[in-house]
Amino acid sequence: MVQIGYTMMTEQAGPRDLVGHVVGAERVGFDFSVTSDHYFPWLESQGHASYAWSVLGAAAQATERIPLMTYVTCPTTRYHPAVVAQKAATMQFLSRGRFRLGLGSGENLNEHVVGGGWPAAHVRLEMLEEAVEIIRSLFTGGNVNHHGLHFDVENAKLWDLPDTLPPIGVAVSGERSCELAGHLADLLIATEPKRALISAFDRHGGAGKPKVGQLPICYDTDRDAAVARAHDQFRWFGSGWPVNSELPAPAGFAGATQFVRPEDVARSIPCGDDVDAVVEAVSPYVDAGFTEVALVQIGGDNQEPYLDWAQQKLLPALREL
């Protein structure tokens, strides 16, 4: 049975609301949760971008059961990998073993703020690979000194290291990232239901490991209102990873999506209160081999009615998958 997750999207709700929402997700029966880690929203209409790690710490204390996960953190530019290792170890303590560290090569939107420039895609993957190796080294508990192609670590050690280490997930989009994830990660992360990604991950050492996907939906009893909200806040979603990873600011995403129509968004994102439409959208992930799918309810002010609907209708239908 595929597990169904809840997304704390830091771009569309403030920090206190995010914690309240994941408490609600635990209450209504979601199997796990994931959290985005942004410095900017994709579009100004989303209106938020709080610090994900503070939200996660608060969520760990406010919940009891639901697993927590970054989806995803970039450990190469805005954060040094040695700092990410420390944050992840601390989160594993605070959550009492419920945390997974999801990592990716990042987006210019969030990483440009430290003024280090934005490397080419192949360099970003090199940096990600080296970063994961550093984090793994620190997870062993000893002193780490590292002088690599992209990072230096001087006499680092994690003094609070949990007995059960946080599993590491790596986001993939093509063959090279699948190769990296297959031999370095404990699970795969992807936002598209492509069987080729699963096959490549398995081929490079990922067979038998969890595969976590993500799907946006926009619940509302008024379908027209749902379509309008999805278009207002999520029309960037269909631009594709090569575009989304390069644009530096919300204004860039607004410009890149200025000709996207509401009906275009409605074709790619389930909108309204049709349970069957969501089941149909989740099915390709299941067919491709994903073991978990995190749903994103679009609209920070529309989480409570969504959680009620999920408990009463959506989750029971998805359990049948």
Residue of 11, 21, 38, 126 with catalytic role: 38
How far is the C-alpha of 188 from the C-alpha of 58, rounded, in Å?
A: 26
Residue of 11, 21, 26, 107 with catalytic role: 107
**Tokens for 285?**
């992930």
Catalytic status, residue 38: yes
How far is the C-alpha of 212 from the C-alpha of 111, rounded, in Å?
A: 24
Catalytic status, residue 107: yes
Active site residues: 38, 107
